[in-house]
Amino acid sequence: MRIQTLSPALVNQIAAGEVVERPASVVKELLENSLDADATNIVIDIEQGGTRLIRVRDNGHGIVPDDLPLALSQHATSKIFEPDDLERITSLGFRGEALPSIGSISRLVLSSKARGEDAGWSMKVDGINPASDVHPVAHNQGTTVEVRDLFYNTPARRKFLRTEKTEYSHLEAVVKRVALSRYEVGIELSHNQRSILKLLPAVDQVSRERRIAALCGNAFIDSAFSIEHEAAGLRLWGWVARPTFSRSQADMQYFFVNGRMVRDKLLSHAVRQAYADVLYHGRQAAFVLYLELDPKRVDVNAHPAKHEVRFRDGSLVHDFLYRTLHQALADQRPADQLSASPRPSMSPTPGSMSAGNTGGAGWGSRPAVNSALDLRETSEAYQSLVAPSLAEAQHTGVPNTPSTEDEQFPLGFAIAQLHGIYILAQNHAGLVVVDMHAAHERISYEALKDSLQGEGIRSQPLLVPMRLAVSQREADLAAEQQSLFSELGFELDRSGPESITIRQIPSLLARGDSEQLVRDVLGDLIVYGKSERIREEINKVLSTMACHGSVRANRHLAIDEMNALLRDMERTERSGQCNHGRPTWTQMSIDELDKLFLRGR
């Protein structure tokens, strides 16, 4: 077979295979064009899940009549002009493939009126017939793209489409993501002549949260807190759900980079690490987050459909995201959970970095813990952290008089102990129920981490050094990151082009699989540029120690002892969840209690 140039129609259909997977893909491309045209209002009409009709109308800049044929030509765009422009892309679409690709597999009508023009203009194109001439049409300023009979001339592609309901659900998800990316744009969506969404422009915090509630549900926004942090030329802002609001799937995770919705494994990994200490096993975090940075520092041309991005300095981005979210979650206190306003600050509150100094003897006074102690010995030594005697608690200076007027103490004051498991407390809002073991477990765990951080991670030498066969790249990394491994208690030497030797390991991990842990850390360094695996393994040991050292069920506590625990909870990082991610306390308001007993009816 001789080499020959493909026809434009075939080229467009091949390009459509990359750009257009289903009706949702068409909607995504058209909405991005509208946003790039600075539209402030977009109306989307859908029929039969998008297979019969997709119509997107906007009030953007519009297209002048001479440019309409170019808009339907491959690799014609108004968004980039020279190679240097690829280094600083600020638009959502820029390749000039979407409209001609969509037109090659559908019946497409493009109508537009540019700013300053007296009339609108229109032209048609489909996958079989040549494009029509440009002709005048009544049209307001902006652009309308009407796509009918998607894949009508490619029956093999059409066979792979799912049911109308399934295709529409994918399409609606795209519209929701776009609505979350641009709050200043009003968006309307209808399906089969039935109005589905009608979102007004959101210009302030309240209206933005109202839009999030409409798209993600009231439960999400009620459980979320806003964050904003800027450092090293990176800015992260948005809403993060508290760990008590988690999902079985990652279906409520929205991440935008410079306004572009992305699915990126580096970003996902950083978020998972930030939630690792507070999320129940197997559950997924929920968030709506926005990362902003210089366009030169991110490559948005890494995927044909632009779902993925590539950062110039992935390690910096990963570290910034992890530390920001980790600290934001740590800074949450019962007072923040009981009140949505004022929003918590990204700056650590006084005492938030140390769970050891919580005021008074008893629960707040903790001995330093030797990280090299045997687990059994440490657990026994840590029994001193259980509730002090009544005589000791009386000297803590902690108020023990219940008062609904006193809002200084968010968790209120203890009034009883239930079945030796739960503490019942009264605060200004109503009733607080605390799982005393879970709460003490978190307090103990944070104290152990603080103690370990102060003393450093102790190491112990191996009687017989362990030699590992690795790849050359892994051996290079082990040599480059010796200081990192040393800080975490490991001593590694490069013993050959493709081998390393482990000479010392952290004392707390003496019973673990050090070889596999080192291999996993090197794998993380290759993929993400960072690794927290060693700290995570150490934290697992500390978590077990805290669990063994915490007060058990059926341990009778005096009122003063219970109040001392409540005060410690109010000061301890991540006190809303135990070490396993389960909630440590819950609130029932007076209104909720009244409803239970039909009061006021």
Q: By residue range, what is the domain housing residue 161?
A: 8-199
Across 198-207, 351-360, 472-481, 521-530, least confident range: 351-360
The reply to whether 138 and 221 lie within a common domain is no
The reply to whether 500 and 453 lie within a common domain is yes
| CA distances from residue 540 to 174, 444, 453, 537 in whole angstroms, order as listed | 39, 13, 15, 5
- Whether residue 89 lies inside any domain: the answer is yes
- Whether residue 355 lies inside any domain: the answer is no
> Where are the strands (E) in 436-549, listed by range?
459-469, 491-496, 499-506
The reply to whether 533 and 464 lie within a common domain is yes
| 305, 330, 355 - which closes a domain | 330
> Is 90 exceeded by the pLDDT of residue 180?
yes
pLDDT at residue 351, as a whole number: 32
pLDDT at residue 343, as a whole number: 38
The CATH number for 307's domain is: 3.30.230.10
pLDDT at residue 30, as a whole number: 96
**Domains in the chain, number:** 3
pLDDT at residue 204, as a whole number: 94
pLDDT band at 340 (very low <50, low <70, confident <90, very high): low
The CATH number for 117's domain is: 3.30.565.10
Please say whether the beta carbons of 25 and 19 come within 8 A.
Answer: yes
Average pLDDT over residues 354-374: 35
* Residue pLDDT, tens place only, 113-144: 998 899 999 999 987 777 788 999 999 999 99
- Whether residue 342 lies inside any domain: the answer is no
The reply to whether 161 and 281 lie within a common domain is no
DSSP string, 193-258: TEEEEEE----SHHHHHHHHHHHH-HHHHHHEEEEEEEETTEEEEEEEE-TTS-BSSS-SEEEEET
Mean confidence (pLDDT) of the chain: 84
pLDDT at residue 309, as a whole number: 85
Closest to 470 measured CA to CA, from 519, 540, 427, 543: 519
The reply to whether 43 and 61 lie within a common domain is yes
- Whether residue 538 lies inside any domain: the answer is yes
- Whether residue 352 lies inside any domain: the answer is no
> Is 60 exceeded by the pLDDT of residue 411?
yes
Report the chain's terminal Cα–Cα distance, integer Å.
86
The reply to whether 62 and 192 lie within a common domain is yes
The reply to whether 55 and 71 lie within a common domain is yes
The CATH number for 554's domain is: 3.30.1540.20
- Whether residue 217 lies inside any domain: the answer is yes
> Is 80 exceeded by the pLDDT of residue 587?
yes
459-469 β-sheet, strand order: 459-469, 499-506, 491-496
The reply to whether 185 and 251 lie within a common domain is no
Closest to 552 measured CA to CA, from 411, 419, 357: 419
Please say whether the beta carbons of 44 and 189 come within 8 A.
Answer: yes
Tell me the whole-structure pTM to 2 decimals.
0.77
Query: In terms of pLDDT, which residue wins out, 366 or 562?
Result: 562
The reply to whether 376 and 447 lie within a common domain is yes
- Whether residue 346 lies inside any domain: the answer is no
| 155, 171, 199 - which closes a domain | 199
* Residue pLDDT, tens place only, 506-548: 888 887 888 888 998 898 888 878 788 888 888 888 888 888 7
Distance CA 144, CA 133 (A): 17
pLDDT at residue 260, as a whole number: 92
Average pLDDT over residues 168-173: 96
Please say whether the beta carbons of 305 and 19 come within 8 A.
Answer: yes
Across 43-52, 223-232, 275-284, 323-332, least confident range: 275-284
| 174, 199, 224 - which closes a domain | 199
* Residue pLDDT, tens place only, 27-74: 999 999 999 999 999 999 999 999 999 999 999 999 999 999 999 887
The reply to whether 487 and 520 lie within a common domain is yes
41-47 β-sheet, strand order: 135-137, 120-126, 107-113, 142-148, 53-58, 41-47, 186-191, 194-199
